[in-house]
Structure formats: structure tokens, C-alpha cells
Chain A
Amino acid sequence: MQFLLASGNNPISHVIDAPVRIGGMEPYSGLTLQVVTLFVGLIVFMAVLLYASKNISTGKESLGHRRYLSRGRIAQVIEVMCLYLRDDILTPMMGKKDAHKFTPFLLTLFFLILSLNLIGMVPMQDMQLITGTWIQDAQLAVVGGTATANIAVNAVLAFFVFIVIQAHGFRELGVKGWLEHLCGGHELVAGPKALWLVVPIIFVVEVLGLIIKPAALCIRLFANMFGGHTLLATMLMFGGMTWVGTNSGLATAGVTLVSGIFAILITFMELFVALLQAFVFMFLSAVFISLMSHHEEEAEAHELEGATATAH
């Protein structure tokens, strides 16, 4: 029963950040489980990617043609992800130059968020609580939770994206171009004066957009991870609630069986969501960055259209 009770009487309590506890005490004031998980995520990120990069890199000449092949499943999976994201997502969307420039930043975001999301799937907090309770009521809780279910973590990641978007915008468009972008673009500013009436409205919308875009990234990731884990905790709570309500072992077993099956299914869905949300965060960041690029192809297309119109 303790496994089921571990989800708590409030599903949110299972998901929300909690202080590090050893023996019922909080030895490090302010240090929370998700902060520890964050660093564990960093270690996993580093370990997996350094291992993968070593195994992806070209091997010794003695291996012959096989030296060009990645060695090991993990390296192959990481390589496939890198290749897919770089060649099929980022390069077509951002252009070769920008993709080359921003791929390390965007893939860091992707792999870090993915690491944190997947580590969050491991019920470390519950295992420690249960184990700690069994072991002389030690109330052990050192690591656990999903770091990306913490709004502060996501906000900082989104802030980095915001910085990169604006830095790229300044570099690409210049201060004047950046301000024109905020006013609706050069076509509107240099266009008919009657259209200037809409410029203040667009300016307000664009300035809000500067904040809203990264905020949306932050909130989307937070909501998905927090919501998913809350749903899972809710599923696991039903057994405990039935026991408290009916005190019937049969009823509890029945409800636990059904809710357990659903919990397993939702866990698989959560695995998918963990991957999807890491991708979405990275993908939308790339979209927002590329929106700030000076699109030479578009300019060429406009020039071509203009030339065609003049010819006619």
C-alpha cells in the first residue's frame, strides 16, 4: 500500500519541488530536489554525449572502412538525432549559415531538456521516500522530481533563447532594422503614410511578442511536464483513495489494477511527451531565431517579382 500512498493525498504534492531531506531534517536550506536533479541531468547529459561523441568520431585506421561507423547503440541514436535535427529540421528552416551557427545552442537545449524530462520519469523521489520510511523512518529525499516541471528552470532556458533571438536580431538587422522590425517591417515604415496609424499597435504587439514568445516556450514545457506527472500521480492515487474511502481490499485491488494499467499507458505517453516537448522547445526557438534573420532569398524573390512586374 505504501507504493500507492506514496503519491500523496494531493497529486500536485507529488510533482511540486520539495526541499532535500535527510532523516527528516533539511540540512541545506533552500536546496531542493529539482535543483539536485538538474545537476544529475547535467551529469547524464555530459556522460551520454561525451560517450556518444567519442563513439561517433572516426576510429583508428586499423578498423578499415568500419572506422567511419558509429560504435554502440547510444552513439547511433544520438547520431541519428543530431543528423535529423541538423539536416532535416534546422538547415531547411534557418538556412545553412544560420543552422551552422545555432545548431550547437539549439541541440544543447534539446538534449538538456530531453535529459531532464527523461530523468524526471524515474520515480526517484518516491523510491527514496519509501525506502527512507522503511529504513528506520529516515525520510530520505535527496534527488527526484522533474526539473523541467519547475517554472524557474524553464524561465531561465527561455531567457537564454530570448537573449539569442535579440542578439541575432541586432546583428542581422542592425538597430534601425530591429526597430523597423518592431514597427512592422521596412515595407510598412517606408510605405504610405496612412499606414503609420497601425505602427503603434504593431509596435505594442511586437514588444509584447518579444516577451510572449520565450514565455510561451517556458510555460508550454512547464505545463506539459507538470500536467503529465500530475495526471500520473492522480492515477496512482485512486487506489489509496479507495482504501481510505471503503477500507475494502477487493475494491482497492480492482481500482488499483485499472488505474495501474492506465498509469502504465500514460507513462509511455509521458515518454513520448518528454521527447516531443524537448523537440518543440528547440524547434520553436529555431523558428523565433530565424524570424530575425535577414532573408536574402525573400529579398531576391521580391526583387525578381519587381523586375517581372516592370518588364510587363
Chain B
Amino acid sequence: MNIFLLANEAAAESPLSFKLLPAYSTIVVFLVAFGIFKFFVWPKITKALDARDEKILSEIRAAEAAQAKAKAAQSEFEKRLEEARTAADDMIRKARSEADRQADELRTRSQRELEDMRLRATQELESAKRTALAEIHAVAATLATSVAGKILKREIQPSDQKRLVDESLSEMTSR
């Protein structure tokens, strides 16, 4: 019941009663709190927050600079890549034209050589033909003479032989 009694005694006062001790205490408490906050708490907090802001800003600036640098490097790289690509295309084009030129040259040379070979073969054939004909003439004359001698059973004079050969040749040629 002591609690009830305590409570009843306290309840006798009005909640709105203004007492000086709490008021004076509040003045002291607030001034001390304000002093502590203004001189020991807030400067530290603002300094830290400002330092953090500055750090974040500097990091952002550095990141932006790095990004700009990377972009420049990328554009430089792309430019060089384009140049390399162009150079490669030129080289390929040149190589292709060179290859075409060489192929044409080879083809021309081959054709010329073929032509030469054909010509040479024709000449050789002509020559062989002429030689063969001459040999045939000789052999034919000898054979004809021999055959004729045998047929006539008489000696044919060289003048006869020459005449017979010429006649045979002319016959052969006319044939």
C-alpha cells in the first residue's frame, strides 16, 4: 500500500505546476548539451562527412577521368584497328593483283613456250619428213635400180640409174 500512498501524494500536484529546479536544471543541461554538441560532436561529424564527400567526389572524378582515358584509348585502338584493316585489305588486294599478274604472266609464258614447242615440233617434223623423204629417195633409187637390174639382167650405167631415179621421183612427187 505504500506505493498507493506515494502515488496519491504525488497526484495532489497539478501536472502543469511550474517548478524552478527543473527549469534551472534544463538551462544547465541544455547549455552543456549544446556546448558539447557544437564544439565536440558536430565538428567531428561534419568534418568526417565532408571528407567522405570529398573522397567520393575525387573517386568519381578519377573514375570519370579513367573512363575518358579508356574511351580515348578505345577510339585510338579502333582507329588503329581500322588502319590495320585498311592496310590488310590493301595488302590482300595487292597480293591478289600480283598473283593475277603472275598467273597471267605464267599463262602467257606457257602459251608462248607451247607455241614455241609446237613450232619446233613442226619444224622438226618437217625436217624429219624431208630427211625421211631423202632417205626414201635414196633407198628407193637403190632398190629400184637393183630391181630393175635384176629384171633387165643387165648392167645399168650410172647415167641410166640417175635418169631412172629422177623419173621415179617425179612420178612419186606427182603422186
Interface residues of chain A, those whose CB is within 8 Å of chain B, are 2, 5-6, 8-10, 12-18, 21, 24, 30-32, 34-35, 38-39, 41-42, 45-46, 49-50, 52-54, 56-58, 65, 68, 70, 78-79, 82-83, 103-105, 107-108, 111-112, 129-130, 133, 137, 139, 141, 147, 149-153, 155-157, 160, 226
Contact = CB atoms under 8 A, between A and B. Distances in A.
B7 A104 contact: no
A163 B7 CA distance: 37
Given A49-B37, A151-B18, A16 B6 contact: no
A104 B30 CA distance: 12
A46 B33 contact: yes
Contacts of A103: 42
21 contacts: A2-B3, A10-B8, A12-B11, A13-B11, A35-B22, A38-B25, A38-B26, A42-B33, A45-B33, A46-B33, A46-B36, A49-B36, A50-B41, A53-B40, A53-B41, A57-B45, A70-B48, A105-B38, A112-B33, A149-B15, A156-B26
B55 A68 contact: yes
Interface of B, secondary structure class, is helix
Given A16-B13, A68-B51, A54 B26 contact: no
A44 B16 CA distance: 26
B44 interface: yes
A151 B16 contact: yes
Contacts of B10: 13, 16-18
Given A32-B22, A39-B29, A42-B29, A50 B48 contact: no
A57 B45 CA distance: 6
B22 A38 contact: yes
A295 B53 CA distance: 28
A31 B26 contact: no
B23 interface: yes
A36 to B, nearest CB: 9
Contacts, number: 158
A49 to B, nearest CB: 5
A50 B26 CA distance: 20
A12 B26 CA distance: 22
A18 B37 CA distance: 30
Contacts of A6: 3
Chain B contact residues (Cβ within 8 angstroms of A): what range? 35 or more
Contacts of B119: none
A79 B45 contact: yes
A151 B15 contact: yes
A57 B3 contact: no
Contacts of A2: 3
A38 B7 contact: no
A38 B29 contact: yes
Interface string B49-85: 1011001000000000000000000000000000000
Contact of A129 (B3, B34, B47, B55): B3
Given A8-B3, A50-B36, A108-B30, A58 B47 contact: yes
Given A8-B11, A53-B45, A104 B38 contact: yes
Contacts of B55: 65, 68
B11 A139 contact: no
A32 B19 contact: yes
4 A-B pairs with least C-beta separation = A8-B7, A13-B7, A13-B11, A156-B26
B42 A42 contact: no
B20 interface: yes
Contacts of A45: 33, 36
B2 interface: yes
B32 interface: yes
A31 B21 contact: yes
A129 B49 CA distance: 45
A104 B42 contact: yes
B143 interface: no
Contacts of A57: 44-45, 47-48
Q: Which of B2, B27, B30 has the most CB of A within 10 A?
A: B30
Nearest to A33: B10
A173 B120 CA distance: 123
A155 B23 CA distance: 8
Nearest to A126: B3
Given A53-B41, A133-B2, A151-B18, A104 B34 contact: yes
Candidate in B11, B32, B37, B51 with the most chain A CB atoms within 10 angstroms: B37
A94 to B, nearest CB: 16
